[in-house]
Amino acid sequence: MKIIMLGAPGAGKGTQAKLIADKYGIPHISTGDIFRANIKNGTALGMEAKSYMDQGLLVPDELTVKILLDRVAQEDCKKGYVLDGFPRTIPQAEVLDQELVKLHDQIDHAIDVDVPDENIIRRMGGRRACVSCGATYHIEYIKPHKEGICDECGQELVLRDDDKPETVGKRLDVYHEQTQPLIDFYDRKGILKTVDGTQDMQDVFDAIVAILEQ
Ligand code: ADP
Ligand code: ADP
Ligand code: ZN
């Protein structure tokens, strides 16, 4: 099962991708998490990605595509995967398609987690991310058991630099310009499914499971 999560930054793609990955035993692949791990480890790739991420801009396609293709070529991806935050541009989607065609393979579902911009601002402002494992929480909506501490690994939760209000507006503009056109792209391929992302986390997940199992 190969799944793409679409939706604005902060729509809940990562939260749902993790639930899907756990339920179906497939890897959750987030290009944002891969970039953040590289930043944390001080790699050249991390430094380059950071210069774009801090401005709320997309990392260039060439760099992003290479990382993603390397990741999906790994053994654990044979049984499927859920992509979270990739593709984010039409050229990225086209390269992914071409690679899959070579393997006589295809994406099964593109799931758009639909959340209006007004809700997005509140979600990103309240998001807290684990410095170690990338799990995300929300200060009002999805609280960890112990404030400021990750349930999964016990490490510290932080406000991401790019979730500060000055960057959020830019990221939403970039989303509308460069990423939203992917909704039509996958609709034309007949694999687009839309879920109402303003519902509670569990209700969104139930709607997704219903799509995957219909
Ligand atoms: P969010 O979950 O809020 O949408 P991500 O963790 O997916 O954020 O991405 C954080 C940042 O990493 C993006 O704003 C962008 O700079 C960069 N990034 C992640 N995925 C991609 C991608 N597929 N193409 C280009 N840039 C990306
Ligand atoms: P994305 O990966 O699309 O950027 P996240 O999954 O990180 O989004 O979610 C953004 C923020 O909203 C996080 O703080 C997360 O805990 C919270 N969140 C996710 N899903 C919901 C939901 N259904 N209702 C309320 N808050 C949510
Ligand atoms: Zn953690």
Ligand nearest to the CA of 136: 2
- 188 tagged catalytic: no
pLDDT band at 66 (very low <50, low <70, confident <90, very high): very high
Provide the β-strand partners of residue 128: 137
pLDDT greater than 90 at residue 31? yes
Q: Is 122 a catalytic residue?
A: no
Assigned architecture for domain 2-116+174-212: 3-Layer(aba) Sandwich (3.40)
pLDDT at site 144: 97
Residue 31 Cβ inside 6 Å of ligand 1? The answer reads: yes
pTM of the model: 0.97
Which sequence spans correspond to the domains of the chain?
Answer: 2-116+174-212
Ligand 2 mean position, distance from CA 11 (Å): 6
Q: What are the phi and psi torsion angles at 197 (to 5°)?
A: -80, 0
Q: List, for residues 74-115, the tens digit of each pLDDT value.
A: 999 999 999 999 999 999 999 999 999 999 999 999 999 999
Give 185-204 pLDDT, tens digit per residue: 999 999 999 999 999 999 99
* Residues whose CB falls within 8 Å of the CB of residue 5, separated by 6 or more in sequence, listed in order: 13, 14, 16, 17, 82, 83, 84, 85, 111, 113
The closest ligand to the CA of 128 turns out to be: 2
Q: How far apart are CA 145 and CA 121, in angstroms?
A: 24
- In the reported structure, the alpha carbon of residue 85 is separated from the centroid of ligand 1 by a whole-number distance in angstroms of 6
Question: Residue 72 pLDDT more than 90?
Answer: yes
